[in-house]
A and B are shown apart, each in its own frame.
Chain A
Amino acid sequence: MSETESPSAEKVASAMMAPLSESSVARISVRTAVILLVFTMAFTALMAGVYQLTQPILEKSALDAKRRTITEVLPPDTYDNDLLADAATLPPVKALGRDAPTTIYRARKDGKPVALVFEAAALDGYSGRIDLILAVSADGRMVAQRVTLHKETPGLGDYIDPKKDKNKQQPWIKQFDNLGFDTVLGGKWRVKKDGGIIDQRAGATISARAVTNASGRAVLWIHDHSARLFDLPNGSQWKETSP
C-alpha cells in the first residue's frame, strides 16, 4: 500500500514534491487503520444497540406469526393448551408429501384431544410443490386448511390461496372445512372432474386436484394414526412402525 496509489490531487502533488519517508508511511497506515477501526466499532455498537432493543420484539412477533397461521386453520377458542409447546416431531412421512421432518401440534381442551395441526405438501401442482397447513380434528374431520407456499400460475391456478382467490365470499379452499375422513374413503374427496365433490375452476384443474388429493391423503393418514399422535410424549420423535 504505497501512498502514491491515492488519486487525491493534493496528496499526489505533495508525494511528488517530497517522497514520503518510510516512517511517515507507517504512521499514515496506522492512522488509517485506527480510524477504520473506530468507525467500525462505533457503527457496530449502534447496530448492537438496536439489536438489543428489537430482539425481544422479534422473538415475540415470530411466535405471533406462527400463532396467526395456526389460528387461520384452528380457531383459538376450540382448545385451551399451549399449542406451540405441545408438539411432537415426525420423520418424513410420504403420505403427507413431506421430505423433511414434520412438527405436529396437538390441540387439547380440558386434557381431551381436539385437533392436530401440521404441515403437508402436494408434490404434483402445475408448477411443482404446494405447501399446506392443515388442522384435522380428533374424530378425523378437516377443520380447515391453507396454502402456505406455492408457485401456481398467477391468475389461473393461484386461487387455491384465498388471498389470491377472486371469490372473497366463498374462497375455494373453504370447501374442505368440516369434510370428514369418510369422504376420502367414499372416494368423494376429489375434484368434480374426477367424480368427487370439490369444485374446480375452469381451465385450472391441476392445482385444485393437487391440493385436493394431497389433503385427502393427509387427512386419512392422520386419522389412522390419530390416537398414537396424541399420545406421543411432548417433544418426542415418532418412530414409524409397520402398519
Chain B
Amino acid sequence: MSQLRNIAANGLWNQNAVLGQMLGLCSLLAISTSVVNAVSLGLATIFVMGMSSLIVSSLRAFIPYEIRIPIFILIIAALVTVVDMAMNAWLRDLYLVLGIFIPLIVVNCIVLARVEAFAAKNPAGLSAFDGVMMGVGFVWVIGLLGAVRELIGQGTLFSGIEMIIPSASAIQILPADYPGFLVAILPPGAFFVLGLMVAGRNWLDYRANQRIHAQRAQQSAAAVAG
C-alpha cells in the first residue's frame, strides 16, 4: 500500500514531470492556452503513458536489453499513432486544435523516461499505475496552467468544450466586458505562469522543510529537557 502511495506522491508532486523534472515543456507551453486544450492533451498523454508502461512492463521478459530503446519507442509511437487516428476520427475539431502536439507525445521525454526508469523493472500493475500517476501529474499542471491563462487571457473557463461535448458551452467567469489580457494566451504568458507555479512549488516545499526542521528541533529539545 505504501508503495502505491509512494508512486502516487512521486507522480503528483515529488518527482512531478513538469514542476519537479521540467520535462515535456514544449507541448505544455504550446497547448496550455485553455483548459480544454490542456486537459485534452493531458488525457491523451495519460493514456499513452499508462498503456506504454503496462505493455512494456508485461512484455519486459521478451525485450532484449540491447534493443530495448527501439522497442520502447516502437510501442510508444504505435500507441500515439492510435490516439492520433482515433482523435482525428472522433474528435476532429479538437484534433485540429492540438495538431502537431499529439504526434509529438512520442518524443515527450516523460513517456520514455518512465518506461525506461520504472516499467522496464517493475511488475505490470505497478508500472501502469506509475504511468498513469505521472500522467495525472502532467495533467493537473497543464490543466492549472491552462485555466490560469484562459481566465486571465479571456475571462472564461472551458472555452472550446463544445468540441468534445456539443451541448456544453464555456463559462464566463469575469464580466463579459473584461477586455482580456492577450499576453496570457500568447507564449510569454505560458512562461510567466509556469515560472510562478514552479516558484510556488519551491516555496511550499521550503515551508514544509522548515516545519520538519522546527519539529525535529522541538523533539530534540524535548528529549534533552526530559
Q: Which residues of A contact B (CB under 8 A)?
A: 5-6, 8, 11, 31-32, 35-36, 39-40, 43-44, 46-47, 50-51, 53-54, 57-58, 61, 64-65, 154-155, 166
B71 within 8 Å of A (CB atoms)? yes
B67 within 8 Å of A (CB atoms)? yes
* Chain B: minimal CB distance from A239 (Å): 36
Instruction: Given A35-B63, A54-B85, check contact A40 B182 (CB 8 Å).
Output: no
**A43 and B182 within 8 A (CB):** no
B100 within 8 Å of A (CB atoms)? no
**B82 and A46 within 8 A (CB):** yes
* Chain B: minimal CB distance from A149 (Å): 13
Q: In whole angstroms, how far apart are the Cα atoms of A6 and B65 in the complex?
A: 8
Q: Is the interface of A mostly helix, strand, loop or mixed?
A: helix
Q: In whole angstroms, how far apart are the Cα atoms of A44 and B70 in the complex?
A: 14
**A54 and B88 within 8 A (CB):** yes
Q: Which chain A residues border B86 with CB–CB below 8 Å?
A: 50, 54
**B78 and A36 within 8 A (CB):** no
Q: Which chain A residues border B85 with CB–CB below 8 Å?
A: 47, 50-51, 54, 58
Residue in A5, A43, A154 whose beta carbon sits within 8 Å of that of B75 in the complex: A43
Q: Which chain B residues border A154 with CB–CB below 8 Å?
A: 182, 185-186
* Chain A: minimal CB distance from B147 (Å): 20
B89 within 8 Å of A (CB atoms)? yes
Residue in A35, A51, A64 whose beta carbon sits within 8 Å of that of B62 in the complex: A35
Residue in A39, A46, A58 whose beta carbon sits within 8 Å of that of B89 in the complex: A58
* Chain A: minimal CB distance from B36 (Å): 15
